[in-house]
């Protein structure tokens, strides 16, 4: 059900992962959805301090039927903690809220203008303390990565960005591939804000393959070496979103999906975020 990819420091990352942003309206719903996801076969859970759900996510992981070492857990550093120069404390707080012993991947949630190199030095220090298996970034575009890499000792393992067939960012994908940075896709299904799941090209491929459009999009991610993070609160859709390993998209189908790109962002532009 689940395959893994290797990060640039040798850590294995299961793909797809399970996104948890706005997964439920209260802790109980979030807890239940993560427990379901683990039962469905997900082995990679993605959260963030900003989601406000580290406590129920951590509880579901502790009480779920998968041993901790069989799971990959990501959380993220929020921008205001960077601005206030409280990075180490923000990390400790996430560790405490999750209460799962260690974190597999710690990400800088958004680039903070003028603080990119400073933030990364602090992230490197946290990595060197051994409490996290890998460090990376999120929502970093090429110019942010350029600024980071100019002073980095450790290459980020991951860049997690909004990415789907209407926002392909092939130049960023190529850049990351060349540097050994794995790209993760958030909102891989385009969120409910855009009609991606009813796109006629995707529907046509899905009909031909006897799959759903969501599965076609997620399979496209896997064949492009991306790690998608689909989110669903529904058990059937959770299973659907990891049933991706019994079909292949042809080179022509991959190209047809690539051509759907229209640089359409559903979330904020990384240069416009404020904290």
Whole-number minimum distance, CB 117 to ligand A2P, in Å? 31
Instruction: Give SS3 for 228.
Output: strand
Among 43, 133, 140, 231, binds ligand A2P (CB under 6 A): 231
Residue whose structure tokens are 């991306």:
226
> Active-site residue 21, yes or no?
no
Dihedral, 260, 237, 23, 51 alpha carbons, nearest 10: -50
Q: Does 185 bind ligand A2P (CB under 6 A)?
A: no
**Whole-number Å distance between alpha carbons of 227 and 134:** 15
Closer residue to ligand A2P, CB minimum distance, 53 or 187? 187
Given candidates 59, 187, 244, 257, which one binds ligand A2P under the rule CB under 6 A? Answer: 187
Candidates 8-16, 57-65, 166-174, 224-232; binding stretch for ligand A2P (CB under 6 A): 224-232
CA-CA distance, 95 to 70, in Å (whole number)? 18
Select from 86-94, 171-179, 200-208, 236-244 the region that touches ligand A2P (CB under 6 A).
Answer: 236-244
Q: Can you tell me whether residue 159 is helix, strand or coil?
A: strand
CA gap 45, 43 in Å, rounded? 7
**For ligand A2P, which residue of 192, 225, 248, 250 counts as binding (CB under 6 A)?**
192
Backbone angles phi, psi at 3, to 5 degrees: -110, 165
Contact residues: ligand A2P, CB under 6 A? 19, 187, 189, 191-192, 197, 212, 214, 230-234, 237, 240-241
């Amino acid at each position: 059900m689940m395959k893994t990819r290797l990060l640039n420091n040798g850590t294995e990352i299961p793909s797809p992962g399970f996104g948890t942003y706005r997964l439920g309206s209260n802790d109980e719903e979030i807890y239940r959805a993560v427990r379901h996801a683990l039962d469905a076969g997900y082995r990679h859970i993605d959260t963030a301090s900003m989601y406000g759900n580290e406590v129920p996510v951590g509880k579901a992981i502790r009480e779920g039927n998968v041993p901790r070492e069989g799971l990959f857990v990501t959380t993220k550093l929020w921008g205001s903690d960077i601005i206030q120069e409280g990075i180490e404390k923000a990390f400790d707080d996430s560790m405490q809220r999750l209460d799962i012993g260690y974190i597999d991947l710690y990400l800088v949630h958004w680039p903070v203008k003028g603080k990119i190199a400073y933030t990364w030095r602090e992230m490197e220090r946290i990595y060197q303390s051994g409490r996290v298996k890998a460090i990376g970034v999120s929502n970093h575009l090429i110019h942010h990565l350029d600024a980071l890499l100019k002073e980095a000792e450790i290459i980020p393992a991951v860049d997690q960005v909004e990415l789907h067939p209407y926002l392909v960012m092939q130049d960023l994908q190529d850049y990351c591939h060349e540097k050994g940075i794995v790209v993760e896709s958030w909102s891989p299904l385009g969120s409910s804000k855009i009609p991606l799941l009813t796109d006629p090209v995707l529907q046509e491929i899905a009909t031909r393959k006897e799959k759903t459009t969501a599965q076609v999009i997620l399979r496209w991610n896997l064949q492009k070496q991306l790690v998608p993070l689909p989110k669903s609160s529904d058990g059937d859709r959770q299973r659907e979103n990891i049933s991706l390993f019994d079909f292949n998209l042809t080179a022509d189908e991959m190209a047809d999906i690539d051509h759907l790109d229209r640089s359409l962002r559903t979330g904020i532009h990384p240069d416009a975020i404020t904290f």
